[in-house]
Amino acid sequence: MTSLVEELPQLNQLSNNHSSTSIGSNSNISINAPQTLPFQKKEQWNKLYKEHLSAIAQKTYTNIEDFFDSFDKFLQVLKIKQNLQVLRVFYEQLDEADQKYFIEEFLPSLAIRALELETLFLNSPVKILKQYDSTPSIFTKRQISSVLANMFFGTIDYSKYRTLIQWYDGPYRIETKIEKIKCLYNYFKRILSASEEHLNLFIIIQRLQYVNQNNYKVPPTLNSNIKIFTDKRIEDFLQSQHIHIDFANQCIGGGVLDTGRVQEEIMFVTNPELLICCQICECIEDKEGILITGAERYSSYTGYSQTFAFEDNFIDPRGVDTQRNCKQTAVIAIDALFFHEHILALQYQPKMIFRELIKALTGFQITDYTPKGHQIVTGNWGCGSFHGDVQLKFIIQWIACSMQERDMIYCTFGNEHLADIQKIVTILKGQSTEKVIKAIKNYKESSEKFTVFQYIQKFFSNSH
């Protein structure tokens, strides 16, 4: 049998163009990040954006309707057709005390923070994280809050996937948009009152690249320890050694700045500092991932997709890495393949399996920020709206964890197709890694008769 080490070189034959292995489009987002921030059009900042923000900061409006009228006129000058219906409804749902705070304190304070963009990046223009450039970008929390404040007011050069204007436009998915605004409002209230010590903490963003296959020592057996949870979410694991996996879109953030409301989008709105990635990260290539260190969670939530809702303020218990001056948090974004419903069988082809394996290997690798001993916290990556086979993806991630010598915490989210997952763990733990690879490669020939788990059980019962 050809060994896994011998087969890994074929992964390098995958084109560096993501479309070579993408089965259909997984997003309507096709833009790459700009070359510079914050001033792509400095003249527009000085003449239009600054004037808009200064008027809010100086409270030139007398009531909330004056504010909305001024905001509407600003959008009209920019020839932006979106309305402010959702933002108005959000305001109307606030209680009387919060409405008073919103108009008298929140908006002026946020506009002042947005205006700080000019000085915060004066001597350090934003580094765009270009494909295959692993040099990290480092921000302070204050810098990111200023960028997000400009996204709130629409004063970053407009594209519907780079500001929050889409959240304000009704009536489509108005309930989802309101819940997203609630999450961001909670974040802004926290960050506007945060101490200088907190605002000066770093957030570090770095592209990860696939390490040459010759550097891998394939374990003789599937030996990574696994803990299975059916009733917990990835974000429930809050120790410093926990690495949270973002089930990313090829363009990180996916539909978060629009109406998306699944795993990645929920992660980004409850942890809004991740939104900076939408501004600075080019789309992820096949042999890449993105690591974000130091971003923290600010909101708790209930539900998922259509039922997603902001719940309450959340205090992230993870401590500070004093050596690196950042919170002890790590999020790794890896994008799975998207399969149209009429071609689901393609995902069982060896090329597709190996593409997903290399993606997981890239994300799960040992780095300075995610050292050996830290655990991968993941779940049904690439399933749901991406139509991946949840049983296959589980095994692929387990193999990747074993190859990177990491333990794995796996959240099933109560998926009925994973009811036998513990049984599969018992069968496969200690089995030859090569043999497990052979089993999932051979599955495609029996995919109409058995599920992956059923085939695995049959394969290993026959091999004794």
**Cβ-proximal residues to 437 (8 Å cutoff; 6+ apart), any chain:** 4, 7, 399
Binding residues: 249, 263, 304
Out of 157, 265, 273, 286, the active site residue is 265
The model's pLDDT over 258-302, given as tens digits with 9 standing for 90+, comes to 999 999 999 999 999 999 999 899 999 999 999 999 999 999 999
Out of 157, 169, 179, 246, the active site residue is 246
Segment 305-327 shows an average pLDDT of 97
Q: What pLDDT does 448 receive?
A: 66
Residue 196 annotated among the catalytic residues of the structure: no
Q: What pLDDT does 457 receive?
A: 93
Task: Give percent of the chain with pLDDT exceeding 70.
Answer: 88
CB distance 272 to 184 below 8 Å: yes
The model's pLDDT over 379-417, given as tens digits with 9 standing for 90+, comes to 999 999 999 999 999 999 999 999 999 999 999 999 999
DSSP string, 64-82: HHHHHHHHHHHHHHTT---
Out of 235, 264, 273, 288, the active site residue is 264
The model's pLDDT over 211-246, given as tens digits with 9 standing for 90+, comes to 875 556 678 899 999 999 999 999 999 999 999 999
The model's pLDDT over 38-74, given as tens digits with 9 standing for 90+, comes to 555 677 777 889 999 999 999 999 899 999 999 999 9
Domain ranges of the chain: 4-462
> How distant is the alpha carbon of residue 81 from its chain centre?
28
Q: What pLDDT does 25 receive?
A: 36
Binding residues for substrate: 249, 263, 304
Residue 246 annotated among the catalytic residues of the structure: yes
The model's pLDDT over 159-208, given as tens digits with 9 standing for 90+, comes to 544 789 999 999 999 999 999 999 999 999 999 999 999 999 999 999 99
Q: What pLDDT does 390 receive?
A: 98
- Cα–Cα distances (Å) from 352 to 8, 11, 313, 401, 443, in that order, read 13, 10, 41, 18, 13
Residue 464 has pLDDT above 70, yes or no: no
* Of 333, 291, 275, residue with least CA distance to 207: 291
The secondary element (H helix, E strand) that includes residue 313 is strand 309-313
Segment 294-317 shows an average pLDDT of 98
Rounded Cα distance between 206 and 362, Å, is: 12
Token pair belonging to 306: 């259509």
